[in-house]
């Protein structure tokens, strides 16, 4: 990467927390060096941001990407993603991604903790190949291994730590809302032991739980965050209070819940600011949906987010976007994070809170101390958009320029 000096001037600045009294942000060698109203350094390339707002690079806190997805994320101003489980990534692969400014930087859980033949294997292999008519399990058919013996749990967690997992992911999924009832699950005491082991290694623990009962179970075992929002029931005081008391963060993935309950991403795909930056393959995926739980009511998810926000729960933006596959559709890397922000606002979050949910709050939650903010000394991951997302949240899609580590990833005329 060739670092350059930039001065982005005449902009409104949202620093990850609030709009600040500044109109010029200066970057040198990938780091923000100044925020204010002064004249730019003589050596800096000046970017005229008139009529625009400068944001920290966005963070999608729940994805399952390949390189194509990481590249598309950057095109939409998403400069960091949190991989919520997948095959372990080698140090060489992580270094390659970190050094390529065309790709979103990544933090990963690595291999998640699941039961033998448990979720997410049913997304890749028919259930009848995983579980026989007599209830027998066929791990040889499962692409993702599960924990066969609870005694092996300490070794499982230790192996994730050695592989470089940034946090530990637990999968509590019995299949109801994914049209796969009867999925094998680990026992609650195994999950509780996993939390103790992970915390003993200094690792954050985040849980997949798509139902009310699974969510309550994950709160009982002491996880630090919820990677989903339950969608099988309306919110109750019991669960809202339990989440608030636990102090966990929640990644609602409203775009996913809409898709699971049968609504496609056609409304997002219809936006020319989206379709102009996306392949036909991705657009076909976005226009489709999961529809594994059409009897579900998406309004429950909206009501739950509103209740959680009013209770002071940290809300973090994430999408669960993966590959360009129509059977797992309604989502697209990069673009769907903007859709998630719009849905969070419709669920009752003020625009500024929605912007925080994709910048400073996930950075704090996942220990990303160098990003998610526009401050002196912070990494220069930046997005310049036309308009003002603090007034109209859809303006986040009006991308004029994106910088990753101070390198501009989009062409822009300079003055």
Q: Where are the domains of the chain?
A: 1-56+373-414, 58-370
Query: 171 pairs with which residues across the strands?
Result: 208
Q: Are strands 382-386 and 6-14 parallel, antiparallel or unpaired?
A: unpaired
Retrieve residue 274's tokens: 């989206």
pLDDT value at 285 more than 60: yes
1-56+373-414: CATH, from 2.60.120.890, 3.40.50.300, 2.30.40.10, 3.40.50.920:
2.30.40.10
Whole-prediction pTM value?
Answer: 0.97
- Stretch 366-394: mean pLDDT: 98
Lowest model confidence (mean pLDDT) among 90-94, 324-328, 411-415: 411-415
pLDDT value at 415 more than 50: no
- Stretch 83-100: mean pLDDT: 95
Q: What fold, for 58-370? A: TIM Barrel (3.20.20)
- Give the Å distances, CA to CA, from 371 to 50, 58, 70, 258, 381: 24, 9, 17, 30, 7
Contacts of 163 (CB under 8 A, 6+ apart): 88, 89, 110, 111
What pLDDT band is residue 414 in, cutting at 50, 70 and 90? Answer: very low
Do residues 383 and 75 make contact, with C-beta atoms less than 8 angstroms apart?
Answer: no
- Read off φ and ψ for residue 87, nearest 5 degrees: -65, 145
Retrieve residue 139's tokens: 């791990």
Neighbour count for residue 144 (Cβ, 10 Å): 21
Q: Is residue 48 packed enough to be buried (19+ CB in 10 Å), middle (13-18) or exposed (0-12)?
A: middle
- Distance (Å, rounded) from C-alpha 280 to C-alpha 372? 31
Peptide bond between residue 120 and the one before it cis (omega within 30 degrees of 0): yes
pLDDT at residue 39, rounded to an integer: 85
- Stretch 136-162: mean pLDDT: 96
pLDDT value at 118 more than 60: yes
pLDDT at residue 40, rounded to an integer: 86
- Distance (Å, rounded) from C-alpha 135 to C-alpha 221? 27
Neighbour count for residue 289 (Cβ, 10 Å): 24
- Whose CA is closest to 145, among 164, 163, 130? 130
């Amino acid at each position: 990467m060739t670092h350059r000096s930039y001065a982005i001037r005449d902009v409104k600045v949202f620093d990850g927390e609030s709009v600040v009294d500044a109109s010029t942000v200066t970057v040198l060698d990938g780091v923000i060096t100044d925020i204010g109203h002064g004249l730019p350094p003589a050596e800096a390339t000046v970017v005229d941001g008139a009529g625009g707002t400068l944001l920290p690079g966005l963070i999608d806190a729940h994805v399952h990407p390949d390189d194509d997805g990481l590249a598309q994320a950057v095109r939409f101003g998403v400069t960091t993603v949190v991989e919520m489980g997948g095959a372990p990534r080698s140090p060489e692969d992580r270094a390659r991604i970190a050094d390529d400014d065309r790709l979103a930087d990544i933090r990963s859980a690595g291999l998640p903790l699941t039961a033998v033949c448990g979720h997410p294997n049913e997304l890749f292999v028919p259930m009848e190949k995983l579980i026989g008519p007599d209830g027998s399990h066929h791990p040889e058919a499962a692409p993702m291994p599960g924990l066969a013996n609870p005694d092996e749990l300490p070794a499982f967690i230790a192996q994730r730590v050695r592989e470089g997992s940034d946090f530990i992911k637990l999968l509590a999924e019995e299949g109801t809302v994914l049209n796969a009832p009867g999925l094998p699950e680990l026992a609650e005491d195994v999950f509780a032991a996993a939390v103790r082991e992970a915390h003993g290694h200094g690792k954050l623990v985040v849980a997949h739980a798509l139902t009310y009962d699974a969510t309550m179970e994950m709160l009982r075992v002491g996880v630090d965050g919820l990677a989903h929002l339950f969608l099988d029931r309306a919110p109750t005081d019991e669960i809202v209070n339990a989440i608030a008391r636990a102090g966990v963060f929640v990644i609602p993935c409203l775009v996913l819940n809409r898709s699971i309950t049968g609504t496609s991403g056609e409304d997002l795909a219809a936006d020319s600011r989206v379709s102009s930056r996306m392949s036909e393959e991705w657009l076909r995926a976005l226009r489709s949906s999961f529809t594994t739980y059409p009897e579900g009511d998406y309004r429950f998810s909206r009501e739950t987010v509103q209740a959680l926000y009013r209770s002071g729960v940290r809300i973090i933006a994430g999408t669960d976007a993966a590959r360009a596959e129509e059977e797992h559709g309604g989502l697209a890397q990069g673009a769907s994070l903007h859709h998630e922000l719009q849905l969070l606002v419709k669920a009752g979050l003020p625009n500024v809170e929605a912007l925080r949910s994709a910048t400073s709050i996930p950075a704090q939650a996942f220990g990303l101390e160098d990003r998610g903010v526009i401050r002196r000394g912070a990494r220069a991951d930046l997005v310049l958009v036309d308009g003002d997302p603090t007034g109209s949240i859809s303006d986040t899609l009006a991308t004029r320029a994106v910088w990753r580590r101070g390198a501009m990833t989009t062409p822009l005329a300079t003055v």
